[in-house]
Structure 1
Amino acid sequence: MKKWRILVSLCFSLLVLFIVAPKVAHADTAKVATTKSWTVEFNTEMSSASINNSTIYVLDANGAKQATTVSLSSDKKKAIVKPPSSGYKPGQTYTLVVTDNLYSIKNNPIKQAYSKTFTIEEVPTTPPVGYGTVTADVLNVRSGPGTSYSRIGQLTDGKIVAVYEISGDWATIDYNGTVGYVHKTYIKIQNPAGTNSIEGRRIVIDAGHGGKDPGASAKGTEEADIVLDVALRVQRKLSVLGAVPILTRSTDEFLELYERVQLAEDKHGDIFISIHVNAATAAATGAEAFYYKGKAANEQESYQLARSILDEIVDRANMVDRGVKHGDLHVIRENPLPATLIELGFITNSSDYKKLTSATYRDIYAEAIVEGIKKYYQQ
């Protein structure tokens, strides 16, 4: 009678069915987290009696067996190998060994033994590029730059971590002595003390209205034109300071509100500032700022950003301070970034109108916005 053998493969690795020796000659180039768990998959149901630390185990570079925990999944087709309680050591290389002493519920042995070497990530030796303060109640730390990677831990609101690299939406951080990855939307990244506070920051500047939507108007002057001029001035000033300004529009074009938010996310923005001009009765005057109260994350950051910018506008442009208020406005409500909407003044007020239509004051407004951003990042 023909004797059947069981095939086994290691998840997260190349499928290798014909290795006859339990060791491999080289380690994988990809490094893994200190809390890495391995899953060994079988093509049939396995006997629980054969799944233990004697048949599946991890060795360090010196051949010492590690205190891993091995268990069989409910479908009996997977063996889960959990790391030691204190985790693996950063920078060290280990070997996962699957011996040939495994057998199925029908007493059939596996075809052959297998092994896989792996190396643990370690924190870079170079100085961090900045420090990140968590702005969400709970932030997942991943083993790689994406939500498809396993969660290796969590950080809570206010926790400060060293940031070593930023790529797209993901920041590489020091997580308990090893490398972790977090979504940068939920950390306030600040440059090292004594350096330019906004260098490298990706700042989204949204000139409100545009195209078929001119916004408020008075005496032939339209809001869309005023705020675009101010936005372009902000862009130039930020560029000189080493920041990365991102304009939602740079010409007189129309954008839907959701498109402005989507652009901010697609361009991996750090903060979002929407510039507008107010209109009401002739007596209404002053500048004000809005943030959305009730955001799942970055509510307090949005308030601080709004307050910092408004303070500078009030001081530099000598505007009446109408305060920072909650605003149920799409571009800040639906925005995951720290976001504020700024009303520079009232186009319908004679005093404010003179400032809003003055090239000198438009530059003052732009300078105030830039200084407010700098103040926000210095807090």
Structure 2
Amino acid sequence: INVGGDMQILVSAHAYEGAQVSATLNGQTITLTQIDTEDDDTDKDSSYKLFSGSFTAPPANSADQNLGQITVTATYEGETVSMPGATVIVNKKLPLGEGVPVMINPTNGIDAETFPADTLNDNSDPDYYPICKGALDYTVSDEMVYTYVNDDGETKTCRYYLLASGVRVYAEDLTTVSTQVGGNTISGLTVTASERYTDVILRTVQKVSYIFRYSPDAITIDFQNTETLPGDIESLTKNPLFTSATWSGAELTLTLKQTNGFLGFKAFFDDVGNLVFRFNNPPEMDGGLAGAHIVVDPGHGGKDIGAAGYNPDYNEAYFNQAIADELVDILQDWGASVTMIQTGGSPSLQERVATARSANPNLFVSIHNNSGPSSAQGTEAYYFNPFSKTLAANVSANVSQALENGNNRGGKFGRYYVTRVSQFPAILAECGFVSNSEENEKLADPDYQEAIAEAIANAIYSYYQSVGGGEVVTGTQSVGDSSQAVGGDSSGSADDSQDGEEIPVEDVVIDQGDLELEVGDLEALTYTIDPEDADNWEVTWESSDEDVAVVDEEGWVEALSEGETQITVTTEDGDYSDTITIRVLADGAEEDIPVEEVTLSEESLSLAVGETHTLTAQFSPDDASDQGVTWESSDETVVTVNSRGRLRAVGEGTATITVITDDGGYEAYCDVEVWEE
């Protein structure tokens, strides 16, 4: 793995619960601590637990530093095993001024996840909020690489860069650009509220990056590379969400009207380049759930049955769907607008979240049921973002009462994918244990299903009340230049709007000059209207040769093939235009690195019937391009293996597990003995 100087290097390993686990690197040994936080990879039926700890990398200097290989050692019931891990390289320090200008170009098309700059792991962090598509920043590090093995035995490699704004982002979410940012001006601030949203609109000259922070009392947004700012709005009298919008340097503070009264946001650059932060307003409620927009996600479904139940006639997906159906009916009866995720096609987690985001809800709940030892029982609900914590606690408490299990396990922090969305409060509810005979019987009872659904609906109602639901305030307040600030769903009018003649466009200039791009590059073009206070900033974009490069309505150019093309911007008002030439060069293809050898994490194993174990395929070289493999068992009546190397012992005997590389057909073997306890 490649890290920056002084970074925290997370080391994780799986070992038996209660084991003593340590890691050694560069002569330093640390103790790894058992971690109980759950995520989508957590196997609740496994006897293994995740252990983690962190090393601190030495300061970077003028050359790369090789710290050697990590060694992890575990001791359990008198037996000690050591295994090698990754080799750690500390990247050299970059000289000042060596940063590369980049644009946020996220793979999800909306925003890029951010991580702390002083640590290297792939753990999503609830204190770090995404940056929207189109924002400009600088890289201030070489590429950092982090490799780990998840609970399913899959080897994951993640690549990141540090940004000048002080966060770490995935390399795949960045595109290099020629646009330089610095000395930016934000000339206007508008806060406009409709019944559904509050839009905070910044009239910014450059598409600067920002750091978004949440606290129970306020939102702060720190704008990067910005020097000139508008004034404060000290009293927001026409807004249901915020009481003021004030500046301290380039940091904007939006003070919440209601403590914990935040229901998520999304950010985007609008058609004229304004940076818009769109916040969900509390619903009007009106004695029910009028104004609530809710997405209900029945967990699993389709080919994915989830956990098998104590009663083989019912699995988790069946219970999830039954409760979700009841919940949708109740929420709609109470006046809410509801979208239910359709699970017949076995949608992925990413597809579920994409569907939810496109529905623009102000709340999301995913319905699940738990699995574990047959004695385990109770109700719990998981949240990721701190503003979803109250909702999770409400749901867990209410469902526990409805299920009459007397075991409210509470709201818990977890890193489940469907909860890691900042656009709206989101939770994952575990209503009961399908592996427990008593709770399984109740979950199969339509009366209990309805009671659970009503309990969730009541929890949602209470949550909306706690964040200020019931108050409807609309209107617009502005300071500075608000001529192009138009909220996407605004019903108010600007306080400082003026009557008079429309200010016409007199000229337009593309801010970038002629450019050279490589095939596959994406470049964001921006433009300036003269005069800056012209009323109509609408433009169209055109490419003279769309076989070479295309340009979309927002000025994004995608280089397709070698050649030259002219990109023209034309104003709607006055038909003024400007043109630049873009030359597209052949992409510098990366060298394909072939597999030379594969080995397994163990050459022999002894398992009891019913036990599971995950084998890891290790490639040489470790940066081989194609690391796909196929797994085989010589006798599936003894031990089975899935596509991720996870073994399950099913009967006494011996068998051989074989891994075969997709590239080159190299093989490695593990002999497995299975015995009956």
TM interval, shorter chain, is 0.5 to 0.7
Q: Which has the higher contact order (CA 8 A, sep 6+)?
A: 1
Counterpart residue number, 1:279:
371
- Looking at structure 1, the residues matched to 334 and 423 of structure 2 have their Cα atoms a distance apart, in angstroms, of 25
1:215 maps onto 2:306 in alignment? yes
More strand by percentage: 2
Listed as ranges, the gaps of 5+ residues in structure 2 are 1-184, 201-212, 223-228, 233-244, 246-251, 259-264, 268-273, 467-677
Kept after mapping to 2: 8 A contact 1:205/1:231:
yes
When residues 364 and 133 of structure 1 are mapped into structure 2, their CA distance, relative to the original with a 3 A threshold, is: farther
Shift of 1:231: 0.7
Shift of 1:182: 6.1
- Looking at structure 1, the residues matched to 390 and 186 of structure 2 have their Cα atoms a distance apart, in angstroms, of 46
When residues 131 and 253 of structure 1 are mapped into structure 2, their CA distance, relative to the original with a 3 A threshold, is: closer
2:419 to 295, 310, 332: 332
- Looking at structure 2, the residues matched to 201 and 160 of structure 1 have their Cα atoms a distance apart, in angstroms, of 19
Shift of 1:344: 0.5
Counterpart residue number, 2:356:
264
SS at structure 2 position matched to 1:274: strand
> What one-letter code is carried by the residue in structure 1 that aligns with 2:327?
V
SS at structure 1 position matched to 2:282: strand
SS at structure 2 position matched to 1:284: coil
More helix by percentage: 1
When residues 182 and 363 of structure 1 are mapped into structure 2, their CA distance, relative to the original with a 3 A threshold, is: farther
- Looking at structure 2, the residues matched to 305 and 377 of structure 1 have their Cα atoms a distance apart, in angstroms, of 9
> What one-letter code is carried by the residue in structure 1 that aligns with 2:324?
A
> What one-letter code is carried by the residue in structure 2 that aligns with 1:302?
S
2:400 to 314, 317, 330: 314
When residues 359 and 188 of structure 1 are mapped into structure 2, their CA distance, relative to the original with a 3 A threshold, is: same
Kept after mapping to 2: 8 A contact 1:289/1:325:
yes
> What one-letter code is carried by the residue in structure 1 that aligns with 2:446?
A
When residues 132 and 196 of structure 1 are mapped into structure 2, their CA distance, relative to the original with a 3 A threshold, is: farther
- Looking at structure 2, the residues matched to 122 and 336 of structure 1 have their Cα atoms a distance apart, in angstroms, of 18
Counterpart residue number, 1:30:
none
> What one-letter code is carried by the residue in structure 1 that aligns with 2:428?
L
> What one-letter code is carried by the residue in structure 2 that aligns with 1:274?
S
1:159 maps onto 2:245 in alignment? no
- Looking at structure 2, the residues matched to 242 and 321 of structure 1 have their Cα atoms a distance apart, in angstroms, of 29
Kept after mapping to 1: 8 A contact 2:397/2:410:
no
SS at structure 2 position matched to 1:327: strand
Superposed counterparts of 1:17-56, under 5 Å: none
SS at structure 2 position matched to 1:217: coil
SS at structure 2 position matched to 1:324: strand
SS at structure 2 position matched to 1:304: helix
Alpha-carbon displacement from aligned partner over 1:107-143 (angstroms, at most 9, x marks no partner): xxxxxxxxxxxxxx9989xxx7479799943269xxx
Shift of 1:301: 2.1
Alpha-carbon displacement from aligned partner over 1:345-376 (angstroms, at most 9, x marks no partner): 00010111111111000000110110010000
2:326 to 233, 247, 256: 233
SS at structure 2 position matched to 1:348: coil
- Looking at structure 2, the residues matched to 278 and 122 of structure 1 have their Cα atoms a distance apart, in angstroms, of 43
Alpha-carbon displacement from aligned partner over 1:69-105 (angstroms, at most 9, x marks no partner): xxxxxxxxxxx9978xxx9xxxxxxxxxxxxxxxxxx
When residues 198 and 349 of structure 1 are mapped into structure 2, their CA distance, relative to the original with a 3 A threshold, is: same
Alpha-carbon displacement from aligned partner over 1:303-328 (angstroms, at most 9, x marks no partner): 01111111211222223111211111
- Looking at structure 2, the residues matched to 317 and 151 of structure 1 have their Cα atoms a distance apart, in angstroms, of 54
Shift of 1:253: 3.1
- Looking at structure 2, the residues matched to 268 and 285 of structure 1 have their Cα atoms a distance apart, in angstroms, of 35
Shift of 1:217: 1.4
Counterpart residue number, 1:13:
none
Structure 1 consecutive aligned stretches of length 4 or more whose deviation exceeds 3 Å: 80-83, 121-124, 128-136, 150-158, 180-184
When residues 301 and 316 of structure 1 are mapped into structure 2, their CA distance, relative to the original with a 3 A threshold, is: same
Counterpart residue number, 1:373:
460
> What one-letter code is carried by the residue in structure 1 that aligns with 2:340?
L
Counterpart residue number, 2:533:
none
Kept after mapping to 1: 8 A contact 2:191/2:198:
no
- Looking at structure 1, the residues matched to 446 and 195 of structure 2 have their Cα atoms a distance apart, in angstroms, of 37
When residues 152 and 346 of structure 1 are mapped into structure 2, their CA distance, relative to the original with a 3 A threshold, is: farther
Listed as ranges, the gaps of 5+ residues in structure 1 are 1-79, 88-120, 141-149, 162-167, 171-179, 293-298
When residues 271 and 123 of structure 1 are mapped into structure 2, their CA distance, relative to the original with a 3 A threshold, is: closer
- Looking at structure 1, the residues matched to 415 and 396 of structure 2 have their Cα atoms a distance apart, in angstroms, of 18
Counterpart residue number, 1:67:
none
Kept after mapping to 1: 8 A contact 2:196/2:291:
no
Kept after mapping to 2: 8 A contact 1:133/1:189:
no
Kept after mapping to 2: 8 A contact 1:131/1:160:
no
Kept after mapping to 2: 8 A contact 1:132/1:189:
no
Shift of 1:201: 1.1
> What one-letter code is carried by the residue in structure 1 that aligns with 2:437?
S
Counterpart residue number, 1:304:
390
Kept after mapping to 2: 8 A contact 1:131/1:191:
no
Shift of 1:300: 2.8
When residues 265 and 221 of structure 1 are mapped into structure 2, their CA distance, relative to the original with a 3 A threshold, is: same
Counterpart residue number, 1:290:
382
Kept after mapping to 1: 8 A contact 2:195/2:281:
no
- Looking at structure 2, the residues matched to 282 and 214 of structure 1 have their Cα atoms a distance apart, in angstroms, of 19
> What one-letter code is carried by the residue in structure 2 that aligns with 1:257?
L
- Looking at structure 1, the residues matched to 400 and 299 of structure 2 have their Cα atoms a distance apart, in angstroms, of 20
When residues 343 and 372 of structure 1 are mapped into structure 2, their CA distance, relative to the original with a 3 A threshold, is: same
SS at structure 1 position matched to 2:415: coil
Alpha-carbon displacement from aligned partner over 1:180-231 (angstroms, at most 9, x marks no partner): 99644x4452427xx2352121101110001111101122211111111111
2:447 to 353, 360, 368: 360
SS at structure 2 position matched to 1:360: helix
- Looking at structure 2, the residues matched to 133 and 272 of structure 1 have their Cα atoms a distance apart, in angstroms, of 21
1:205 to 296, 300, 307: 296
Alpha-carbon displacement from aligned partner over 1:234-271 (angstroms, at most 9, x marks no partner): 1111111110111112x533010011111111111111
Aligned-residue CA RMSD in angstroms? 3.7
Shift of 1:333: 2.1
When residues 301 and 273 of structure 1 are mapped into structure 2, their CA distance, relative to the original with a 3 A threshold, is: same
- Looking at structure 1, the residues matched to 458 and 275 of structure 2 have their Cα atoms a distance apart, in angstroms, of 31
SS at structure 1 position matched to 2:381: strand
